[in-house]
Amino acid sequence: EINDNRDIARLGEPELFWGVSAGCMDSMVANYTATKKKRKQDDLTPGEENNRRPDRAVIYYSNLIRRYFKNTKPLVLGGMEASLRRIAHYDYWDNSIRRSVLVDAKADLLVCGMAEKTIVELAGKLKNSQDYRDIRGLCYLAKEPRLEYLQLPSYEEAKNDKIIFIDMFNKFYRNNDPLTARGLCQQQNTQYLIQNPPALNPTTEELDKIYELDYQLDIHPYYKRQGNVRALPTIQFSITSQRGCFGECNFCSIPAHQGRAVISRSEKSILKEAEKFTKHKYFKGNISDVGGATANLYGSECAIMPSVGTCPDKKCLFPLVCSNLKPGHAKMITLLQKIFAIKGVDRVFIASGLRYDMIIEDKQYGSEFLKEVLEKHTSGQIKIAPEHTEGYILKLMGKQGKDYLHKFKLMFEQLKQETGKNQFLTYYFIAAHPGCTQRDMEKMSEFISKNLKINPEQIQIFTPLPSTLSALMYYTEMDPFTGENIFVEKEIRNKEKQKEAVTGPVHLPARGAPRSPAHHKKSKPRKNQRFYHS
Fold classified for 201-378: Transcription Regulator spoIIAA (3.30.750)
Query: Which neighbouring-strand residues pair with 97?
Result: 90
User: What φ, ψ does residue 135 adopt, rounded to 5°?
Assistant: -65, 130
Q: Would you mind telling me the total number of residues written for the chain in this entry? A: 534
Helix, strand, coil percent values for the chain (each to nearest 5): 35, 15, 50
Residue 379, pLDDT score: 86
pLDDT computed for residue 510 by the predictor = 45
Beta-ladder partners of 187: 192
CATH number 3.30.750.200 is the correct assignment for the domain at 380-504: yes
User: Using CB atoms within 10 A of its CB, is residue 48 exposed (0-12), middle (13-18) or buried (19+)?
Assistant: middle
Task: Give the pLDDT of residue 313.
Answer: 87
Cis-peptide, bond into residue 480, ω within 30° of zero? no
Q: What is the pLDDT of residue 320?
A: 93
Q: Where in the chain are all domains bearing CATH 3.30.750.200?
A: 380-504
CB distance 82 to 57 below 8 Å: no
CA distances from 381 to 51, 348, 349, 426, 532 (A): 32, 14, 11, 6, 22
Q: Please, how many CA atoms are within 13 Å of residue 519, restricted to the half-sphere of its CB? A: 8
Q: Which pLDDT belongs to residue 455?
A: 86
Walk along the chain (534 residues) and give the pLDDT tens digit of each residue. Answer: 677 788 888 888 999 999 999 999 999 999 999 999 999 999 999 999 999 999 999 999 999 999 999 899 999 999 999 999 999 999 999 999 999 999 999 999 999 999 999 999 999 999 999 999 999 999 999 999 999 999 999 999 999 999 999 999 999 999 999 999 999 999 999 999 999 999 999 999 999 999 999 999 999 999 999 999 999 999 999 999 999 999 999 999 998 899 999 999 999 999 999 999 999 999 999 999 999 999 999 999 999 999 999 998 899 999 999 999 999 999 999 999 999 999 999 999 999 999 999 999 999 999 999 999 999 999 889 999 999 999 999 999 999 999 999 999 999 999 999 999 989 999 999 999 999 999 999 999 999 999 999 988 889 999 999 999 999 999 999 999 999 999 999 999 999 999 999 998 865 444 444 333 333 333 343 333 332 332
Q: Which residues contact 400 (CB under 8 A, 6 or more apart)?
A: 317, 318, 319, 320, 357, 394
Which residue type sits at 506? V
Pairing of the two strands 89-91 and 301-302: unpaired
Distance, in Å, from the CA atom of 122 to the CA atom of 341, rounded to the nearest integer, reads: 42
Q: How far apart are CA 249 and CA 462, in angstroms?
A: 13
CA angle 11, 13, 18 (to 5 degrees): 90
Enumerate the CATH 3.30.750.210 domain ranges in the chain, comma separated. Answer: 201-378
Would you state the pLDDT for residue 511?
42
User: How open is the CA angle 87-152-177, to the nearest 5 degrees?
Assistant: 70
Residue 27's Cβ-count burial label (10 Å; 0-12, 13-18, 19+) is buried
Spatial distance between the Cα atoms of 8 and 471, rounded to a whole number of angstroms = 34
CA nearest to 79, candidates 53, 40, 47: 53
Instruction: Tell me the pLDDT tens digit for each residue of 116-125.
Output: 999 999 999 9
In whole angstroms, what is the distance from residue 430 CA to residue 47 CA? 30
- Beta strands 138-142; 109-111: pairing state: antiparallel
Q: Which residues of 67-102 are buried (b: 16+ CB within 10 A; e: fewer)?
A: eebeeeebbbbbbbbbbbbbbbbbbbbeeebbbbbb
**CA 260 – CA 459 distance, rounded (Å):** 26
Query: How far does Cα 208 stand from its chain's mean position?
Result: 21
C-alpha–C-alpha distance, residues 317 and 359, integer Å:
12
User: Measuring CA to CA, which residue among 470, 4, 3, 502 is closest to residue 254?
Assistant: 470
Phi-psi region of 385 (alpha: psi -120 to 50; beta: other; left: phi over 0): beta
Do the Cβ atoms of 401 and 321 come closer than 8 Å?
no
